[in-house]
């Protein structure tokens, strides 16, 4: 029987994985994948907005939130395997995927590897390119700094880059919640995930293969995965729509949930129409 609620544990690939599951049994399923180094609670506002009409699942990827870390080296491909195992265990044949940043890397790889399992894709503040040598070097430095100076300092430095300047000074509660998510992640998981992101392969060349509807959203002031990265993906996917979220940096769903949710709901309505036309998505 299906469990409904928050922080449900399930065993996947020998790990205890934690997820939230809300909404009607027979509704279309949407699965949310969080960014780094956050957890499923970053999607609470979206779950609240959707749970009447959708089965909304948000889970903690391994080593984050309340999910076990396990003993394997982290790779994007391993996160994808975990996602597919989660769907299998929950009896979900097909779903819509929504990922932010690292969650977007996982979602993109999942859709490319298992195109028959997904009906729609929402990519937020993410990109298809691999790390440049400079970004790889920054990740190495971050790993050294986490090991030497600890997680709290890493959290304070990361937060400055994650948010738009105005959000950083005004959205105290959101900042506190994000800091809590970061400092409750273990040093080992932070380092493993930084390594996994540095090792990820580019997916840009494969984007034209994606033939499900895609919504791309990006915070106008996103410095980590900027508007140009979103535009690059948009140009490669003929059935994609691009929305720029005002008053937001890298965490667009937390910084401007009203705009984010409006685009999300509109897009899901389009996906729900069985006859999907390119003109719908382009607003013609
Ligand atoms: C994230 O928000 O998941 C990360 O910032 C992604 C990245 O560093 O590439």
Is residue 162 a contact partner of residue 249, using CB atoms and an 8 Å limit? yes
The rounded Å distance from CA 103 to ligand 1 centre is 8
R_g of the chain computed on alpha carbons: 18
- Rounded CA-CA distance 53/271 in Å is 13
Of ligand 1's listed atoms, the one at least distance from the Cα of 224 is: 5
Q: Nearest C-alpha to atom 4 of ligand 1 is from which residue?
A: 36
Please tell me the distance between residue 88's alpha carbon and the centre of ligand 1 in angstroms.
27
Determine the atom of ligand 1 nearest the C-alpha atom of 104: 3
Q: Whole-prediction pTM value? A: 0.96
Q: Would you state the pLDDT for residue 1?
A: 86
- The residues with which 22 forms a beta bridge, in sequence order, are 56
What atom in ligand 1 is closest to the CA of residue 125? 2
Q: Average per-residue pLDDT in the chain? A: 95
**Cα–Cα dist 182/190, whole Å:** 9
Which of 224, 229, 250, 251 maximizes ligand 1 atoms within 8 Å of its Cβ, making it the mutation to test the pocket? 224
Q: Is 259 helix (H, G, I), strand (E, B) or coil?
A: helix
12-46 pLDDT, tens digit each: 988 999 999 999 999 999 999 999 999 999 999 99
Angle at 66 (CA atoms; ends 60, 67), nearest 5 degrees:
60
CA-250 nearest atom, ligand 1: 2
Ligand 1 neighbours (beta carbon < 6 A): 35-36, 101-102, 197, 224, 250
Per-residue pLDDT tens for 186-222?
Answer: 999 999 999 999 999 999 999 999 999 999 999 999 9
C-alpha dist (Å) from residue 231 to 21, 227, 241 = 32, 6, 10
- The pLDDT tens digits of the residues spanning 117-155 come to 999 999 999 999 999 999 999 999 999 999 999 999 999
Element (H, E) at 279: helix 278-282
Measured CA to CA, the distance from residue 243 to residue 260 in angstroms comes to 9
- Alpha carbon 133 to its chain's center: 24
């Amino acid at each position: 029987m299906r469990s409904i609620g928050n922080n449900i544990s399930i065993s996947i690939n020998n790990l205890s994985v934690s997820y939230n599951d809300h909404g009607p049994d027979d509704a279309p399923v949407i699965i949310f994948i969080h960014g780094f180094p956050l957890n499923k609670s970053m999607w609470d506002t979206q779950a609240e907005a959707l749970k009447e009409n959708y089965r909304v699942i948000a889970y903690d990827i391994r080593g984050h939130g309340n999910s076990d870390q396990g003993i394997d080296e982290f790779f994007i491909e391993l996160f994808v395997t975990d996602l597919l195992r989660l769907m299998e265990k929950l009896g979900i044949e097909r779903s819509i995927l929504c990922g932010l940043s690292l969650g977007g890397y996982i979602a993109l790889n999942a859709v490319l590897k298992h195109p028959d399992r997904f009906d729609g894709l929402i990519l937020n503040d993410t990109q298809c390119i691999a790390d440049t040598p400079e970004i790889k070097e920054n990740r190495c430095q971050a790993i050294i700094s986490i090991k030497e100076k600890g997680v709290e300092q890493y959290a304070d430095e990361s937060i400055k880059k994650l948010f738009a300047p105005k959000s950083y000074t005004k959205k105290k509660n959101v900042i506190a919640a994000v800091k809590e998510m970061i400092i409750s992640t273990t040093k080992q998981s932070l380092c493993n995930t930084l390594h996994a992101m540095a090792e990820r392969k580019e997916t840009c060349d494969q984007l034209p293969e994606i033939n499900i509807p895609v919504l791309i959203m990006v915070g106008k002031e996103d410095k980590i995965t900027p508007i140009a990265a979103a535009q690059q993906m948009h140009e490669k996917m003929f059935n994609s729509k691009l929305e720029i979220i005002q008053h937001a940096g890298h965490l667009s769903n937390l910084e401007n949930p009203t705009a984010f949710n409006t685009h999300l709901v509109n897009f899901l309505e389009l996906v729900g129409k069985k006859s999907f036309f390119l003109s719908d998505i382009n607003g013609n």
